[in-house]
Amino acid sequence: MPGHFEPLPGGGAAVALDEVEISIIRSLAVQLLELIGPGPAEDAPDDPLAELFAEGPSEPPSDPVLKRLFPDAYSGPGVAAASAEQAEEQRAHSAEFRRFTENDLRAGKRENALAVIRSLDGLAPGDGGAVLTLDPAQSEQWLRALNDLRLAIGSRLDVVDEEDTDLLYRLPDEDPRKPMVMAYLWLGGLQETLVETLMP
């Protein structure tokens, strides 16, 4: 899928998308929303102050995609503890950090995915496609949402580093992961060109 973002005069970006591309991005964003789950406001009491100070979970999520989207702050790849005591300390710090930040992180990711869906729903496709135009703030939201979508798909494909990505290019067409790989690579191209439009 050849679509790529181009900068707009005065800031922002534009990309021509056909109906299939619009449908794919929208579907992936909806799936991401379902995975992230509802916001605290959906179950919270009527007191907005209580919601503001609501604590999040202290344990990392069990789903590997959510683990990638909400990683531990003080542990993970490249962060090794020298002793069992240090490992326990890292877990405690990670739990405390997660408790006070994960709700906000989820809300931000949810809002970015919703921004993608809303902007796609606002398009008026004609002749099989439409041109999506984003202002600078929308471009930032799209960039963060595209990153989350790629992290989610990459997690399902077991992509950890650049070498794993290189292997994806060599998958045979009959491999059942091929459609997901194509979406992952295409979203990467969109993300890369959107980053370029945001550079001064």
pTM of the full predicted structure? 0.81
Of 13-27, 35-49, 176-190, give the lowest mean pLDDT range.
Answer: 35-49
What is the C-alpha separation between 155 and 159, in angstroms, rounded? 6
Close Cβ partners of 96 (under 8 Å, ≥ 6 residues apart): 58
The answer, yes or no, to whether residue 171 has pLDDT greater than 60, is yes
What is the C-alpha separation between 93 and 105, in angstroms, rounded? 17
What is the C-alpha separation between 146 and 193, in angstroms, rounded? 11
| Averaged confidence pLDDT in the chain | 83
- Average pLDDT in the 150-160 region? 91
Q: Which of 59-63, 105-109, 144-148, 159-163 has the highest mean pLDDT?
A: 144-148
More confident residue, 103 or 53: 103
- In this structure, what is the dihedral angle of CA atoms 62, 65, 66, 69, given to the nearest 10 degrees? 140
Question: Is 129 inside a domain boundary?
Answer: yes
Which tens digits make up the pLDDT trace of 68-110?
888 877 765 555 556 778 777 777 777 777 777 778 888 999 9
More confident residue, 151 or 66: 151
What is the C-alpha separation between 85 and 82, in angstroms, rounded? 8
The answer, yes or no, to whether residue 45 has pLDDT greater than 70, is no
Question: Is 187 inside a domain boundary?
Answer: yes
- State the pLDDT at residue 169: 83
Structure tokens at 141: 């939201």
Question: Is 1 inside a domain boundary?
Answer: no
Structure tokens at 26: 């929208």
Q: Which of 24-28, 79-83, 166-170 has the highest mean pLDDT?
A: 24-28
The answer, yes or no, to whether residue 26 has pLDDT greater than 90, is yes
DSSP string, 83-117: SHHHHHHHHHHHHHHHHHHHHHHHHHHHHHHHHHH
- State the pLDDT at residue 1: 36
Domain assignment of residue 179, given as a range? 6-198
- State the pLDDT at residue 91: 73
The answer to whether 98 and 58 have CB atoms below 8 angstroms apart is yes
The answer to whether 168 and 181 have CB atoms below 8 angstroms apart is yes
How many beta carbons lie within 10 A of that of residue 23, not counting itself?
12
Question: Is 19 inside a domain boundary?
Answer: yes
Q: How many domains does the chain have?
A: 1
